[in-house]
């Protein structure tokens, strides 16, 4: 049975959704252990190895105790654990609104269509852009979103080329995030306005509400 399948869970916590078009909503986060990337600006290195084994039924029950309808599965990289697929299906069966944030380097074809996928393609300053799997865009639904974390002007120009190359902004919501404490929000905003981009500027809201070094927020 799906309910008895095991995943390694780094943490489960309730917070305010800090990113995506769901920004500002109460949300329960299920952070899975392990990551296949090592981004230069990573702020969740503790998720690389820390975690405990949990059955899907126990994960679901803990999330239900948080009393939020919105749940995001994140990491690390959640797609590294095969049992994330039955976990998502069980959340959907229980009528949760489900999101998954993934790195853009692993196929998403097994992810249920109802799950909103936030695909975080990596820019050059992450040192991980060579891992991007662009064929993933053919696996996306119209309600999914594409995110770019931008560290400098070179990243910004690189992203513009990718948007044009794959016609991204006419197909999905495009999210631009500045690397926290590296690129100023007003600078990125100015670039967006100068180029009349059809994108959504976002910040990691939780880092402005709470201490940016705090875990489980």
Report the CATH number that the domain containing residue 115 is assigned in CATH: 3.20.20.70
Between CA 31 and CA 62, with CA 23 as vertex, the angle to 5 degrees is 35
**Could you count the other beta carbons within 10 Å of the beta carbon of residue 44?**
15
Residue 22 in domain:
yes
Q: Are 5 and 48 a contacting pair, CB within 8 Å?
A: no
Report if residue 216 sits inside a domain. no
Total of domains in the chain: 1
Element spanning 113, H or E: none
**pLDDT (tens digit per residue) in 139-164:** 999 999 999 999 999 999 999 999 99
In a domain, 153, yes or no: yes
154: in domain: yes
Tokens of 171: 């197909």
Q: What is the mean pLDDT of residues 35-39?
A: 95
pTM of the model: 0.93
Note whether residue 214 is domain-resident.
no
- Domain containing 116 equals 2-209
Cβ atoms < 10 Å from Cβ of 21:
16
């Amino acid at each position: 049975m799906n309910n008895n399948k095991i995943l390694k869970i780094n943490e489960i916590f309730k917070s305010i959704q800090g990113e995506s078009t769901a920004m500002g909503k109460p949300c329960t986060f299920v952070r899975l252990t392990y990551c296949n990337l090592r981004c230069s600006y990573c702020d969740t290195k503790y998720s690389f190895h820390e975690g405990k084994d949990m059955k899907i039924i126990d994960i679901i029950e803990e999330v239900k105790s948080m009393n939020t309808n919105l749940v995001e599965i994140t990491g690390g990289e959640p797609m590294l654990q095969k049992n994330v697929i039955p976990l998502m299906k069980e959340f959907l069966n229980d009528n949760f609104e489900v999101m998954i944030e993934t790195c853009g380097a692993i196929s998403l074809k097994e992810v249920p269509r109802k799950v909103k996928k936030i695909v975080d393609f990596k820019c050059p300053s992450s040192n991980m852009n060579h891992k991007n799997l662009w064929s993933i865009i053919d696996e996306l639904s119209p309600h999914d979103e594409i995110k770019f974390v931008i560290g400098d002007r070179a990243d910004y120009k690189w992203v513009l080329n990718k948007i044009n190359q794959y016609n991204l902004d006419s197909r999905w919501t495009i999210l631009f995030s500045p690397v926290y404490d590296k690129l100023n929000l007003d600078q990125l905003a100015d670039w967006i306005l100068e180029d009349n981009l059809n994108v959504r500027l976002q910040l990691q809201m939780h880092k402005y509400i709470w201490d940016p070094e705090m875990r489980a927020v």
